[in-house]
Chain A
């Protein structure tokens, strides 16, 4: 079997930042033709993502984050604040299967491009909106970005130490969580369409999608009126279970010893120092109750060793351990290299860089996936999309450029 699963599906990508773009990127990675719509009047804010402290020409083409999450897509520009832009957008929707957007509800409504309108244009269209708070309810027009979504979903209150303040992840990981949910939603809609021929509208609240990942903490409150305490690096029953300093500068290893047998193996690996035979560490319950002391003693051993070395020696004896990996280590990790987790792509202006293959966590035996094309330059596919797909003449396209409905350079730069 060859051919990517979503070949023949066309997606209009009117999304911004990371969440919605990741939804569309997953579809593109698996074979859909995705057309990212920007405008020279208003760039995707993500084109500034990660460019702080950067200098040089064409700064809007230099965002590592934008370039990562828009690989495998085509890119066009269209000024949606003018009727001509709106009209072209509708023509594109007419020949597409999916439209994705992640603004607060007023934005698409103000353009005259919300679902009731687009359904008239193309009754079979699948449209997804994935703003922070969803498309209904009293907070629907409140803005929200990764960090506030992490907060509102209740994650920081569960993260950190029991005696300390709530903590943030430090990385905008809720965007790709919402984005993956968006992709799943579109797949559900495509499956439904396969059966019934019907399109539909999907309303995804990023906060709800992320809150869905702490169901047991939510129902603990519902059942027991308990607000779960933060548990640091600990586990409800395992010990040792934690993050330990290793040899070197700011290097760490995590380990999780899950049984008395594993504990015995662990003691052997570390050379069975006398403290391992102490009564207070004799079984998992006592180890768990004496973790403060235990953690210090374990760290006396780990600090003498490299974090990869600790991981490998524990894992070879069947004990769960993992080096806390830095970015440089991730890019060079032997396991990830063999799995093809990152793929180096050459792109104009920025050159060759490794990017995570968006759909790599789901390896499909029938259709191996990698990154097929770099993220588009601003307006790179205007001619292909307007000319080939929409059948406009060269003159029409030139007029659009002259009127700044389309273009390749941001205005005001």
Chain B
């Protein structure tokens, strides 16, 4: 009996950078057979993105690429050549899913658009991830992590009006688009299994980020005021003796508990902090009082005792501390890959734990074109000689 949610599901992965590869990383981790199709010679541009092992760039040394491409096989194929496109269509005949994140229109120009592929394989699910979606006035606009965040509506970092907005850390906006792409792809696959019909899934990075940051906009429509005034009541981050902690108060009761916890019970009766409006007005004073109390305490002690009091309080770990978290250790969240060039590297494993069809790490990110022979010869029946000729012509 199978133990994989996506056992037997064949994915052709035309994606590059982050959003698309994150989508297919999740599919691969839950058992799909993902064949990553890369440009001959160069491969996925994420191979040229930091961090690199020992800070030395190289196509098989990128930590970003390593993280996003576990469990996949890599073949090279020049889709811009007629033969290359033809070979892709051969692969598409018995595939279940195609995922791509080219700019809208590119797949049409390659004669690999959904209509064409659907004729070859009516059950195919084709997922396209793009900056703004496959239609609408911004369809052909370019984007970037910074831009996607700015257009999502999440602008008042730490509740500051008038301050220069700043992007969220890492490459989160791309990952978020990739996450929604998994959602759409799995739903379409589920329906395909029932009806036999595939469909096109159109994922917009802009919309994905609007969805995950939509509180201020939903609230705005009701109250006509901007979000930041309210978020102040949560209090935010504070420096303590050995780092930072976050206070995330939700309502009056949390405030009263905090005052007692920090040994300032007199503040419960203080008119400066008695109502939501008063609290917003005297926000800086409240912060100063808290800051003075936590400055000399240690973060882990504050965290442990704070949660015992059930005060919503968070540690603010850096990546080293995330890696050494006792909770993550106990749950076995991190997995160690062993890559032929990069050696042993630790990184996040399953995004969630499924009891019957668990996440599995079967192989590290593939070497560029590392599975050409396996896929072209065994799956499509090309001979080794034909493979050599395709290589000479720059097709693979």
Contact = CB atoms under 8 A, between A and B. Distances in A.
Interface stretch (A77-85, A155-163, A276-284, A393-401): A155-163
B259 interface: no
A172 B53 CA distance: 34
Nearest to A231: B169
Interface residues of A, number: 151
Interface string B160-204: 111011111111100111011111101111110101010111111
B255 interface: no
A204 interface: yes
B231 A188 contact: no
A247 to B, nearest CB: 15
B237 A330 contact: no
A354 B316 CA distance: 35
Given A190-B190, A339-B135, A205 B211 contact: no
A188 B276 CA distance: 43
Contact of B221 (A64, A214, A219): A64
Contacts of A110: none
Contacts of A62: 222
Contacts of B187: 5-6, 30, 187, 362, 364
B285 to A, nearest CB: 19
Contact of B150 (A213, A325, A336, A350): A325
Interface stretch (B71-79, B85-93, B139-147, B386-394): B139-147
Nearest to B200: A365
Interface stretch (A35-43, A132-140, A382-390, A402-410): A132-140
The interface centre, meaning the residue of A161, A187, A322, A350 with most chain B CB atoms within 10 A of its CB, is: A322
17 contacts: A6-B190, A64-B218, A146-B248, A152-B325, A154-B319, A159-B168, A167-B158, A204-B352, A205-B352, A216-B67, A218-B67, A252-B150, A320-B143, A322-B148, A324-B150, A338-B137, A364-B188
Contact of B147 (A166, A180, A187, A322): A322
The interface centre, meaning the residue of B146, B228, B322 with most chain A CB atoms within 10 A of its CB, is: B146
Given A156-B316, A254-B167, 16 more contacts: A5-B188, A157-B169, A176-B212, A181-B352, A185-B352, A191-B186, A219-B63, A219-B347, A220-B63, A220-B319, A221-B319, A323-B150, A325-B155, A330-B210, A359-B184, A363-B203
A137 B51 contact: no
B181 A151 contact: no
A235 B331 contact: no
A136 B135 CA distance: 44
Which 10 residue pairs are nearest across A and B when measured between Cβ atoms? A158-B169, A362-B184, A148-B314, A151-B314, A215-B67, A327-B220, A322-B147, A320-B142, A187-B186, A147-B248
A112 interface: no
B143 A356 contact: no
B269 interface: no
The interface centre, meaning the residue of B141, B202, B250 with most chain A CB atoms within 10 A of its CB, is: B141
A150 B193 CA distance: 37
A201 B358 CA distance: 11
B293 interface: no
B351 interface: yes
Contact of B204 (A64, A130, A361): A361
Given A142-B307, A170-B158, A205-B331, A5 B223 contact: no
Given A202-B352, A216-B171, A224 B54 contact: yes
B166 A208 contact: no
B246 A331 contact: no
Interface in A176-198: 176-177, 180-185, 187-192, 194-196, 198
Nearest to B1: A196
Given A147-B234, A243-B164, A364-B188, A50 B223 contact: yes
B312 A147 contact: yes
A169 interface: yes
Contact of B214 (A68, A130, A151): A68
Interface stretch (B2-10, B260-268, B373-381): B2-10
A143 B310 CA distance: 7
B193 to A, nearest CB: 5
Given A147-B246, A181-B351, A154 B146 contact: no
B240 interface: no
B312 to A, nearest CB: 5
A177 B352 CA distance: 12
